[in-house]
Structure 1
Amino acid sequence: MLAYLTTIALLAHHVAAQGNMLRFACSQLVVDRVDPIVQPGIPYAAHLHQIVGGNSFNLTMDPANHDLPSLSTCTSCSFKEDFSNYWTAVMFFHHKNGSYIRVPQTGNGGPQGQLDNKGGLDVYYIPSGKVTAFKPGFRMIAGNAANTVDSKVNKQAICNRCWTGTSDTPFVGGAPCSGSDTVDIPADPKCKMIRQTIIFPTCWDGKNLDSPDHQSHVAYSGGYASGGGACPSAFPVKVPQIMYEVMWNVTNFADKSLWPADGTAPFVYSMDIGGPAAHGDYVFGWQGNTLQAAMDNNCNLNADCPKAGIHKQTDAEYNACTKAQMAPETVDGWIKALPLGDKAVKA
């Protein structure tokens, strides 16, 4: 009991320290093999992504002529003014017979309330002091889809946590990417859910909306999962800290007799090179100055904020926002192999 109370106290301190923040659900817009940041214009890109946000998401999304708020007719995120796009790789379970199936996703719960999403992920915008909202055309990536070395991953920014129950209430553990959180995907039959956290940089050079590697125009400043610390001189503009949480429900895969007999990982991301390659992509698309107003007016969690002019949609409204694949292939049910070139084929 003492250990439990200590954990809750530490969590409460962490939340109080970072003040108000947006925390909201985004349902699955589409699961598609496209990547308008890294491989613009190319269908059947290198690996599969799960995408959420505005339905103007497209193969190219040239920032010079693709204005997400004006081109989108709906958003799969709970705030109706947010037409940004957010995406990550997809997690698969690898059966001992060689076939694969997509691991289902669920909304997050915990002390700040349950979030409802139909697949997808949960998004945080965490301010630390005065922050400047992103500009139209801004985009960035956290992590590296080609990385295979654990030590090259910033564990404070990208991590996984094993949940030993199907409910995350009471909350287990401390701040994101702390304690026993790991870079690799946990391979433990006791895990019923795996929470993936991806934390983005909080400092911007104030000039470039993007960069060739989609990372050099931004920088981390410490203070992970709490809004970030003071920015370095080369990146003087403090921006809201974006954090993704993906709750992968691995309950149906806890039977170790189903895992590969050769000892290879039972859970893999869609790049099929291991856990260290986890990454997230972001394209800004809030309507007008609503994100700046939300940060300035201390809008909090997943609720209407009249001072900023942001409005929470009903679960049914944002769950209904979807779009067809631009690279059509089978992504549901058992497939023979991960889609890494050829189209996916049912097992």
Structure 2
Amino acid sequence: SAVLAAAQLAGVASGFQIHGHMAALTRLDPIVSPGLVSGHAHMFVGGTGLDSTLTTAKLRQSKCSTLETQQDKSAYWVAPPYGRNANGTWSALPNTNLAIYYLRSQPDKPITIFPDNFRMVMGGASATLANQNSDWTSFQCNNYIPKGDVTGTWNFTSGLKFLPTMDCTLIKMAIEFPNCWDGQNVDSADHRSHMSYATGPDSTCPTTHPVQVPQIVLEYEFYAEGYRYQDVALSSGSKSGAGVHGDYFFGWTAAGVAAMARALDD
């Protein structure tokens, strides 16, 4: 099940994390609606060469990446949380921190780095409390409790399947992408079927998706102080948070791919 990535690292063979900041907040979705305006805003991280259509070659031509690892010009995007203001307008909650993890869970089996033009989607904007599979997403509510002028303590409520039903100083959102690939298709009609999750105590890939690839985990933090929990929703309109979803388009440079492979072999 989904846990915040820092805790999850204890259960994997190897991995690394990359910190960064937002590249853009815009109504684009180059995987689900290429060439069109997206139905809702997405927060993009990674290569700055964003467009309504993407290729790995186009991403590699980005002038820079908003990630500390400049060799990673991939595009990552999510539907971020918004807060409703007193006048009825909505504002994106400020993104205060983000980390992207690359994990290897099967140390005794080969790992394949994503091919050019690989893309995938995890979750769905239209999911509801009744039908969402939340095993691979989670939320955390962090509350600052002041004590005097300069000191205070933090209270953490973690492992939430949906947006917190309590007021929060910070909201953390974690999304775990699948780590088993069918070995053939860089995409599929629903942008999901070419991928699956490893299962069991040995993290085994299913026979339908036998190729282990790095598991990507997004961990984003947002500042929610001043908003009641009833006034927080994802940009897709999901008030429960069941519609949490993440998208990935591969854009590592050739040198970056080699460095990633070495890091995951350690």
Residue among 172, 176, 181 paired with 1:199: 176
**Counterpart mapping for 1:185-334 below 5 A:** 185-189=163-167, 191-222=168-199, 229-253=203-227, 256=228, 265-274=230-239, 275-288=241-254, 290-298=256-264
Distance (Å, rounded) in 2 between the aligned partners of 1:197 and 1:268: 16
Q: What secondary structure sits across from 2:14 in the alignment? A: coil
Q: How many aligned positions are there?
A: 252
Is this contact kept in 1: 2:141–2:172, CA < 8 A?
yes
Pick the structure with greater CA Rg: 1
The alignment status of 1:49 with 2:49, answered yes or no, reads no
Could you tell me which amino acid in structure 2 is paired with residue 61 of structure 1? L
Identity %: 32
Distance (Å, rounded) in 1 between the aligned partners of 2:220 and 2:78: 9
Q: How much has 1:164 moved relative to structure 2?
A: 2.0
Could you tell me which amino acid in structure 1 is paired with residue 49 of structure 2? S
When you count strand as a share of all residues, which structure comes out higher?
2
**Structure 2: gaps spanning 5 or more residues:** 146-152
Distance (Å, rounded) in 2 between the aligned partners of 1:14 and 1:67: 33
Is this contact kept in 2: 1:161–1:186, CA < 8 A?
yes
Distance (Å, rounded) in 1 between the aligned partners of 2:222 and 2:79: 12
Q: What secondary structure sits across from 1:208 in the alignment? A: coil
Task: Please name the residue that 2:141 is paired with.
Answer: 162
Cα gap change, 1:215/1:298 in structure 2, threshold over 3 Å: closer, same or farther? closer
Residue among 70, 79, 84 paired with 1:80: 70
Could you tell me which amino acid in structure 2 is paired with residue 87 of structure 1? W
What TM-score do you get using the length of structure 1 for normalisation?
Answer: 0.66
Is this contact kept in 2: 1:133–1:292, CA < 8 A?
no
**Structure 1: gaps spanning 5 or more residues:** 1-10, 108-120, 174-179, 260-264, 301-347
Q: Deviations over 1:131-156 (max 9, x none)?
A: 211111000000001112x2422322
Cα gap change, 1:13/1:214 in structure 2, threshold over 3 Å: closer, same or farther? closer
Q: Deviations over 1:153-175 (max 9, x none)?
A: 23220121111238xx98957xx
Is this contact kept in 2: 1:187–1:267, CA < 8 A?
no
Is this contact kept in 2: 1:205–1:237, CA < 8 A?
yes
Task: Please name the residue that 1:22 is paired with.
Answer: 16
Q: How big is the alpha-carbon RMSD for the aligned residues of Structure 1 and Structure 2?
A: 2.8
Task: Please name the residue that 1:92 is paired with.
Answer: 82
Q: Deviations over 1:105-125 (max 9, x none)?
A: 112xxxxxxxxxxxxx32110
Q: Deviations over 1:198-241 (max 9, x none)?
A: 00001000000001110000001237xx9x81100010100110
Cα gap change, 1:28/1:207 in structure 2, threshold over 3 Å: closer, same or farther? same
Could you tell me which amino acid in structure 2 is paired with residue 15 of structure 1? L
Could you tell me which amino acid in structure 1 is paired with residue 42 of structure 2? H
What TM-score do you get using the length of structure 2 for normalisation?
Answer: 0.85
**Counterpart mapping for 1:24-173 below 5 A:** 24-43=18-37, 45-62=38-55, 66-69=57-60, 71-107=61-97, 121-128=98-105, 129=107, 130-148=110-128, 150-165=129-144, 172=156
